[in-house]
Amino acid sequence: MGQFRHPNVLRLRGVVSAGPPAMIVTEFLLHGALDAFLRGREGTLSPLQLVAMLRGIAAGMRYLSEAGFVHRDLAARNILVDAHLVCKVSDFGLSRALDGGRDSDPTYTSSLGGKIPIRWTAPEAIAFRTFTSASDAWSYGIVMWEVLSFGERPYWDMSNQDVINAIEQDYYQCSSSHLSLTCQCFW
């Protein structure tokens, strides 16, 4: 985390290692977590402000990808908002450096069971525990949904297993008009 230098990635200020527990010191962001910030603000933030927030998050994630890291826990709860509504990617507890040479796609494969954030994790990462920048892009799509729904919980009250089953059956959280527009962009 100390090596990251980008306006949309949380800045490490220092580490306190004297006595347990060790603590990290980061910059302070006035509005805290993005999901909590958005709740109850529908109608007070313009579409332009929301898009600017999403652009900042995308820029931070692009920086991490180009630096050879996969976040693995991108969610609105792990994005912090400053006084000027600049969003910064944070919480690097699950982040890992990607493996891969010039002839392969950089990946990180988890050999340990460990919990993963199902609602934000790409289907292939759930199935094979293999994470790439593409799996972070899936998570970014879920973050987009969180922002545009003003902090609603993805997949509402579905259980994790129900979320997995729904994704495997091509369930979409958006309206058919939004889905149609998205498909036109890619096909």
DSSP code at position 22: P
Non-local CB neighbours of 144 within 8 Å, separated by 6+ positions: 54
Q: Is there a cis peptide before residue 20, judged by omega within 30 degrees of 0?
A: no
Q: Provide the sign of the torsion angle of the four alpha carbons 25, 26, 31, 33, taken in this order.
A: negative
Residue 65, CB half-sphere, CA atoms under 13 Å: how many?
16
Helix, strand, coil shares of the chain, percent, nearest 5, are 40, 15, 45
**What average pLDDT score do residues 145-154 get?**
95
pLDDT tens string 31-78: 999 999 999 999 999 999 999 999 999 999 999 999 999 999 999 999
Which one is catalytic: 35, 73, 162, 170?
Answer: 73
- CB burial string 136-158: b at 16+ within 10 A, e below: bebbbbbbbbbbebbbbebbeeb
Mean pLDDT of the chain: 89
SS3 state at 80: strand
91 is catalytic: no
> Which of 38, 58, 32 has its CA nearest to residue 147?
38
Predicted confidence at residue 102, as pLDDT, reads 46
Non-local CB neighbours of 35 within 8 Å, separated by 6+ positions: 75, 76, 77, 146, 151
Which residues are 107's β-sheet partners? Answer: 99
Predicted confidence at residue 169, as pLDDT, reads 85
Q: Give the lowest-confidence range in 21-25, 112-116, 117-121.
A: 112-116
Predicted confidence at residue 14, as pLDDT, reads 92
Does the pLDDT of residue 103 top 50, yes or no?
A: no
pTM of the entire predicted model: 0.85
CA-CA-CA-CA dihedral for 118, 124, 125, 130, to nearest 10: 170
Residues 33 and 36: their CA atoms lie apart, in Å, by 6
What amino acid occupies position 12?
L
